Amino acid sequence: MVKRVVKMTFRNEEVDGFLMIFNQTKSLIRASEGCMHLELWRSATESSVLFTLSHWENALFLEKYRQSDLFKRTWAKTKVLFADKPAAWTVEVIA
């Protein structure tokens, strides 16, 4: 299993827009082949910093999702809302 954490910093006025995008797509993302879990987090100290955490059966399923039309459409709507460059980590559980 791999886990993917994505940190996104939004312009303050765009946070609600992203929340709408996430709520409209979360069930589709969760239904993607190989997706085992998806959740959205907000920084406890910076309300415009949000994180997604997703669990995937393996890196191939994550990459298949990242190449999908769903991801491309969602990312195109999301990236225009950023105040800063996003950061992402793909990790494996080892213990």
pLDDT truncated to tens, each residue of the chain (95 aa)?
A: 999 999 999 999 999 999 999 999 999 999 999 999 999 999 999 999 999 999 999 999 999 999 999 999 999 999 999 999 999 999 998 88
pTM over 0.85: yes
Contacts of 52 (CB under 8 A, 6+ apart): 4, 5, 6, 8, 22, 38, 39, 40, 41
**CATH number, domain with residue 39:** 3.30.70.100
- Tell me which residue range forms the domain holding 73: 2-92
- The tally of domains found in the chain comes to 1
